[in-house]
Amino acid sequence: MHDPLIRVHSYESMGTFDGPGLRYVVFLQGCPFRCKYCANPDTIDPVGESKLTDPDYILQQAVSMKPFFGKRGGITFSGGEPTVQAEALIPLFRRLKDAGLHICVDTNGGIWNSHVEELLGLTDLVLLDVKEINSARHEAITARPNTQTLRTADWLETHERPFRLRYVLVPGLSDFEEDLHTLGEHFKDYRQIERVELLPYHRLGVHKYKALGWDYALKDVPENTPEQLQKAEIILRTYFPQLVVN
Ligand code: SF4
């Protein structure tokens, strides 16, 4: 019997942004969030322009790149939201692990079921995107509350699964001082957070909205000033010595 097909949007062969070292990044299709600043809006639709892909292909590609990954690199599943396809990914993850490949999953943490639990148990390093600690503001950004994302973080912590916490600083949406302090208070004692990544807001995906015929809701929101970033960095560093500003 063949393993289930995976709905893939695109690939990046030597990514340096999504996890440690050099990585083969597989962008998967489909996401239940609707982030106003999503840089990959063409991955949101469950089908979009994606291609149903044999997991053998992904495995072979990853294995062929293994010599370039060194000690730290590996494969990253991003998107879209990879956990949408958790059930189909489980057999592939097992085979990637058998092949000695380091696996990262970049997730918004908003989906939970037994397949997601199993998938995250097979993942070496989770990149958990926390869009906002205030649930109402989270909902204003993503159209979903942050309840499950925080539960997922809790699961990672209690099951000793290492993760990186990623936070995008959007002027007027996620850069409130009080929220940065609340974020720090909430997560400062988590032992499984190996790194906190503060990511500036950028508008690199805007042209994709035009191509989709969608309105870009944040067209009046400017990118961060160096001062705004520095202010957020100073606050977050008081809680997270492992903070990195990307
Ligand atoms: S969670 Fe990620 S892929 Fe989904 S809408 Fe938000 S930014 Fe886009």
In this structure, is residue 206 part of a structural domain?
Answer: yes
Measured distance CA(29)–CA(19) in Å, rounded: 19
In this structure, is residue 39 part of a structural domain?
Answer: yes
Average pLDDT score over residue span 52-72: 97
Q: What are 168's strand-pairing partners?
A: 199
Which atom of ligand 1 is the closest one to the Cα of 43?
Answer: 3
Question: Angle at the Cα of 140 (from 132 to 40), degrees rounded to 5?
Answer: 80
In this structure, is residue 32 part of a structural domain?
Answer: yes
pLDDT in the model for residue 205? 85
Q: In CATH, what number is assigned to the domain containing residue 35?
A: 3.20.20.70
CA dihedral (222, 226, 231, 233) in degrees, to 10, reads 110
How many structural domains is the chain composed of? 1
What value does the mean pLDDT of the chain take? Answer: 97
In this structure, is residue 1 part of a structural domain?
Answer: no
> How many residues comprise the chain?
246
Task: With a cut of 80, say whether residue 1 has pLDDT above it.
Answer: no
CA of 80 to the centre of ligand 1 (A): 6
Task: With a cut of 80, say whether residue 133 has pLDDT above it.
Answer: yes
Read off the pTM: 0.97
pLDDT in the model for residue 217? 94
Residues 6+ apart with CB under 8 A from 214: 41
Range(s) of the domain holding residue 229: 6-245
| Atom 6 of ligand 1: nearest residue by CA position | 35
CA of 138 to the centre of ligand 1 (A): 12
pLDDT in the model for residue 2? 81
Measured distance CA(75)–CA(123) in Å, rounded: 10
Instruction: Report the largest interatomic distance among the alpha carbons of the chain, rounded to a whole angstrom.
Output: 57
Measured distance CA(205)–CA(208) in Å, rounded: 5
Task: Quick: pLDDT tens for 65-110.
Answer: 999 999 999 999 999 999 999 999 999 999 999 999 999 999 999 9
Task: Quick: pLDDT tens for 15-50.
Answer: 999 999 999 999 999 999 999 999 999 999 999 999
> Does ligand 1 come within 6 angstroms of the Cβ of 110?
no
In this structure, is residue 127 part of a structural domain?
Answer: yes
Task: Quick: pLDDT tens for 187-238.
Answer: 999 999 999 999 999 988 899 999 999 999 999 999 999 999 999 999 999 9
> Does ligand 1 come within 6 angstroms of the Cβ of 83?
no
CA dihedral (58, 60, 66, 67) in degrees, to 10, reads -140
In this structure, is residue 58 part of a structural domain?
Answer: yes
Average pLDDT score over residue span 47-57: 96
In this structure, is residue 106 part of a structural domain?
Answer: yes
* Residue whose C-alpha is closest to residue 128's, from 180, 102, 165: 165
In this structure, is residue 93 part of a structural domain?
Answer: yes
| Atom 7 of ligand 1: nearest residue by CA position | 38
